[in-house]
Amino acid sequence: MLIRVGDDRTSHIDLVLAGLLSSIAGALNAVGFLIAGSFTANMTGNISALADHVANGAFMIALSFGGLVIAFICGATLAAITIQAGERHGVRTIYALAITAEAFIVLALGIALARSAGNTHETLFVIALSFVMGLQNAVTTMISRARVRTTHVSGMATDIGIEMAALFGGQKMKQDALPKLKLHSLTLICFTLGGVCGALIFGFVGFWLFVIAACMLLFMSLPEVLRARRG
């Protein structure tokens, strides 16, 4: 799931990757809103909020939303640089290692929040979480050659509309659209369910949700690292 790249990947592998990672992204995005009132995976909304606050003269608040966008871009940039370097040096496990790094960042955030009893600066928390979302989205985009995007909800909703329209076209258009429709619909559904479950679980276990999310990421990535090294 985190070893094969691009055309070497099957549609089933992409579906599993999209389902798992979009669920985690949805959960973290929902918890970010519950803790700090900001969506860490929604860059369209954050840029809109930035523009609105600038127009109203609330420049400091606008700056915080700008920080979320910059953090998301930095996470994606760092992931891309690391992956490109790994691919140049033939590191087959580079994508799995990137998800492992995400797991440890999420775990560190959970520990920091738990130790501070929820008094951690909210802006710093959501900026760090936006960094994580950018990292994850870059990993899934690069490994699937842009077929899988786990936080790009607006784009997925648009793609679903285009693919549904293609179902009314010729047979070739239907054949091309159906796998994409299945993938994007699953991603959108899992992101939504992840958000619902994340909010509910956070209400019961609090910051242990981050430990659960980190364990899920490690469960995905570490077996892939070991399998690739054995191979």
| Per-residue model confidence as pLDDT tens digits over 205-226 | 998 999 999 999 999 999 998 8
- Quote the pLDDT of residue 117: 64
pLDDT tens digits, 160-208: 999 999 998 888 888 889 999 999 999 999 999 999 999 999 999 998 9
- Provide the pLDDT for residue 50: 92
**Residue pLDDT, tens place only, 11-31:** 999 999 999 999 999 999 999
- Judge whether 196 lies within some domain: yes
What per-residue confidence (pLDDT) applies to 118? 54
* 1 lies in some domain: no
Residue 118 lies in a domain: yes
Amino acid at 64: S
Question: What's the rounded Cα separation, in Å, for the pair 156 and 29?
Answer: 16
Closest CA to 173 of 184, 187, 162, 182: 162
Work out the angle between the directed axes of helices 171-205 and 208-230 (0-180°, nearest 10).
130
**Residue 92 belongs to a domain:** yes
The verdict on residue 47 lying in a domain is no
CB 154 within 8 A of CB 44: yes
Residue 169 phi/psi, 5-degree rounding, is -90, -155
| Tally of domains in the chain | 1
Query: What pLDDT score does 119 carry?
Result: 59
47 or 114: which leads in pLDDT: 47
Instruction: Give pLDDT, residue 227.
Output: 82
Q: How confident is the model at residue 120 (pLDDT cuts 50, 70, 90)?
A: low
Regarding predicted confidence, which is higher, 79 or 46? 79
Higher pLDDT, 228 or 85: 85
Cα–Cα distance for residue pair 193/129, rounded to 1 Å:
19
pLDDT at site 228:
77
- Quote the Cα angle for 147-102-127, to 5°: 95
Q: Does residue 49 form part of some domain?
A: no
| Residue 165 CB-density burial (10 A; 0-12 exposed, 13-18 middle, 19+ buried) | exposed
Would residue 95 count as lying in a domain? Answer: yes
Instruction: Give yes or no for a contact between 126 and 32, defined as CB atoms under 8 angstroms apart.
Output: yes
Ramachandran angles phi, psi of 72, nearest 5°: -60, -45
* pLDDT digits 0-9 by tens, 50-94: 999 999 999 988 998 999 999 999 999 999 999 999 999 999 999
Position 50 in a domain: no
pTM, two decimals, is: 0.93
pLDDT at 7: 87
Q: What is the 3-state secondary structure (H, E, C) of 131-197?
A: HHHHHHHHHHHHHCCCCCCCCCHHHHHHHHHHHHHHCCCCHHHHHHHHHHHHHHHHHHHHHHHHHHH
Burial of 220 (0-12, 13-18, 19+ CB in 10 A): buried
> In the prediction, which pLDDT does 36 show?
84
Q: Give the CA-trace dihedral at 121, 126, 70, 88, to 10 degrees.
A: 120
Domain containing residue 210: 6-42+69-230
